């Protein structure tokens, strides 16, 4: 049976799955992350496999794909790092049907037709039954927590108990993009495996493989720009090239180019398009693109490198100087923190966008090129 057919049979879907693309559990190949794969393999070969691993790294670089690859390897009891798609273990994991695999994640709330904001204690309590009965198939049990930084306090405490006294041949794989949100007690009981953004070659190979696997089309020029903007995240590259992400980026660049002036009517129209009830992901993408652009301008201002193309190099020359570099870094930190707080606490996100642009406007006016506001 094909992976696509297995996906159709699966009763549950990851809450953060990228629309139109396979879930990490359905992806048959890991690109990059050679050091992480080698470290895990060495532990397995040594016979001293740590019972809990914390996979930490930026959003969308393949942590979950890596975790499922590790899970398949343990469940198949195979010396091979890649389990083929026609292997029974691959099909069962892809369909979330393997009796020795438990996935802990945010739960679906039928009443609201949405996923919960946090992983609750009831979800983690499923461990009791999973770890308490005899294994459905001989060999290892694997528990994947995706994402561990979304555990609420009670859920984290419940997971900690399982980590403190794990049954034999049980492997926990915790996935996190925000290691600091995890309790120290959980981190201290895991072996941290850090993964970073993909290099240019691996990123392009991963993106092209995903587009081909899931029958998605991408304009060559748009894909090139998406890869340059993705900062090593294949998820971000795919999100950009198959949505209106490139258009959002171009709108952001146009607004930056006009600084310190702001077109109020145009800006408010853009904010309206980002503030609808169903526009959360689009708004998150917009803000991430803005923050990513600021970061590249800062890097270019400090080192002369890091800009994604001639347009960004010109923006850096227009807006950033050695005199205001520290204030740009401060603005980047402030906007990033306000974004995280607004999404965590469900604050007014339209004000978040406006405040960010007004902050950048004030900063641009300090550039020696302008002297005084235009």
Relative to beta strand 108-109, strand 101-104 is unpaired
Residues 259 and 149 in one domain: no
Is the peptide bond prior to 260 cis by the omega test (within 30 degrees of 0)? Answer: yes
61: exposed, middle or buried (Cβ count in 10 Å: 0-12, 13-18, 19+): buried
Least confident of 148-152, 172-176, 250-254, 338-342: 338-342
Q: Mark out the alpha helices in 106-218 (DSSP H runs).
A: 121-124, 126-132, 153-164, 184-187, 200-213
Would you say residue 208 lies in a domain?
Answer: no
Residues 102 and 14 in one domain: yes
Alpha carbons 238 and 21: distance in angstroms, whole number:
9
pLDDT grade, residue 7 (50/70/90)? very low
Residues 168 and 19 in one domain: yes
Considering the entire predicted model, what is its pTM?
Answer: 0.85
* Rounded (5°) CA angle 341-184-120: 60
For the cut 90, the answer to whether the pLDDT of residue 260 exceeds it is: yes
* Residues in CB range of 107: below 8 A, 6 or more apart: 115, 116, 119, 120, 122, 123
Highest mean pLDDT, choosing among 5-14, 36-45, 72-81: 36-45
Residues found in the chain: 374
Would you say residue 236 lies in a domain?
Answer: no
Alpha carbons 48 and 44: distance in angstroms, whole number:
7
Would you say residue 369 lies in a domain?
Answer: no
Would you say residue 201 lies in a domain?
Answer: no
Would you say residue 50 lies in a domain?
Answer: yes
Alpha carbons 212 and 111: distance in angstroms, whole number:
36
On average, the pLDDT of the chain sits at 89
Using N-to-C axis directions, what is the helix angle for 234-241 and 280-303, rounded to 10°?
Answer: 120
With H, G, I as helix, E, B as strand and everything else as coil, classify residue 353.
Answer: helix
pLDDT at 160: 97
* 136 secondary structure, DSSP code: S
- Residue 288 lies in domain: 244-364
Residues 18 and 94 in one domain: yes
Mean pLDDT of 361-373: 71
Would you say residue 209 lies in a domain?
Answer: no
Last residue in a domain, options 135, 168, 194: 194
The pLDDT tens digits of the residues spanning 108-164 come to: 888 777 788 899 999 999 999 999 875 555 689 999 999 999 999 999 999 999 999
pLDDT at 332: 96
* Rounded (5°) CA angle 103-105-111: 125
Residue 72: closest CA among 56, 57, 55, 91: 91
230: exposed, middle or buried (Cβ count in 10 Å: 0-12, 13-18, 19+): buried
Last residue in a domain, options 175, 194, 213: 194
Residue 62: closest CA among 235, 229, 208: 235
> Where is pLDDT greater, at 367 or 50?
50
Least confident of 18-32, 136-150, 198-212, 264-278: 264-278
Residues 148 and 291 in one domain: no
Would you say residue 221 lies in a domain?
Answer: no
Alpha carbons 196 and 177: distance in angstroms, whole number:
11
Residues 186 and 267 in one domain: no
The three-state (H, E, C) secondary structure of 241-285, written as one string? HCCCHHHHHHHHHHHHHHCCCCCHHHHHHHHHHHCCCCCHHHHHH
Q: Which residue has the tokens 């393997």?
A: 98
Would you say residue 105 lies in a domain?
Answer: yes
Number of domains the chain is built from = 2
For the cut 80, the answer to whether the pLDDT of residue 219 exceeds it is: yes
């Amino acid at each position: 049976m094909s992976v696509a057919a297995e996906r159709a049979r699966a009763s549950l879907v990851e809450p953060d799955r990228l629309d139109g693309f396979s879930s990490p559990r359905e992806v048959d190949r890991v690109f990059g992350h050679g050091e992480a794969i080698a470290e895990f393999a060495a532990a397995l070969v040594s016979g001293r496999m740590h019972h809990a691993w914390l996979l930490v790294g930026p959003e969308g670089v393949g942590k979950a794909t890596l975790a499922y690859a590790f899970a398949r390897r343990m469940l198949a009891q195979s010396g091979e790092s890649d389990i083929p798609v026609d292997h029974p273990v691959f099909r069962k994991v892809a369909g979330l049907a393997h009796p020795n695999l438990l996935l802990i994640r945010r739960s679906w709330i039928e009443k609201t037709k949405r996923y919960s904001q946090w992983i609750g204690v009831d979800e983690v309590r499923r461990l009791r039954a999973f770890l308490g009965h005899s294994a459905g198939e001989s060999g290892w049990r694997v528990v994947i927590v995706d994402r561990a930084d979304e555990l609420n306090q009670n859920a984290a405490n419940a997971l900690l108990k399982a980590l403190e006294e794990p049954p034999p041949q049980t492997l926990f794989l915790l996935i996190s993009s925000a290691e600091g949100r995890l309790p120290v007690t959980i981190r201290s009981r895991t072996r941290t495996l850090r993964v970073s953004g993909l290099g240019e070659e691996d990123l392009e190979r991963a993106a092209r493989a995903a587009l081909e696997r899931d029958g998605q089309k991408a304009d060559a020029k748009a894909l090139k720009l998406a890869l340059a903007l993705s900062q090593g995240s294949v998820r971000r590259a795919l999100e950009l090239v198959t949505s209106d992400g490139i258009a959002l980026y171009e709108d952001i660049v146009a607004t930056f180019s006009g600084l310190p002036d702001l077109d109020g009517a145009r800006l408010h129209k853009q904010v309206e398009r980002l503030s609808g009830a169903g526009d959360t992901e689009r708004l998150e993408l917009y803000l991430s693109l803005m923050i990513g652009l600021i970061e590249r301008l800062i890097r270019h201002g400090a080192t002369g490198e890091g800009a994604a193309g001639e347009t960004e190099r010109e923006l850096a020359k227009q807006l950033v100087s050695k005199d205001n570099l520290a204030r740009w870094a401060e603005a980047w930190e402030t906007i990033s923190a306000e974004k995280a707080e607004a999404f965590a606490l469900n604050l007014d996100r339209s004000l978040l966008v406006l405040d960010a642009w007004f902050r950048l406007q004030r900063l641009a006016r300090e550039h020696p090129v302008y002297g005084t506001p235009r």
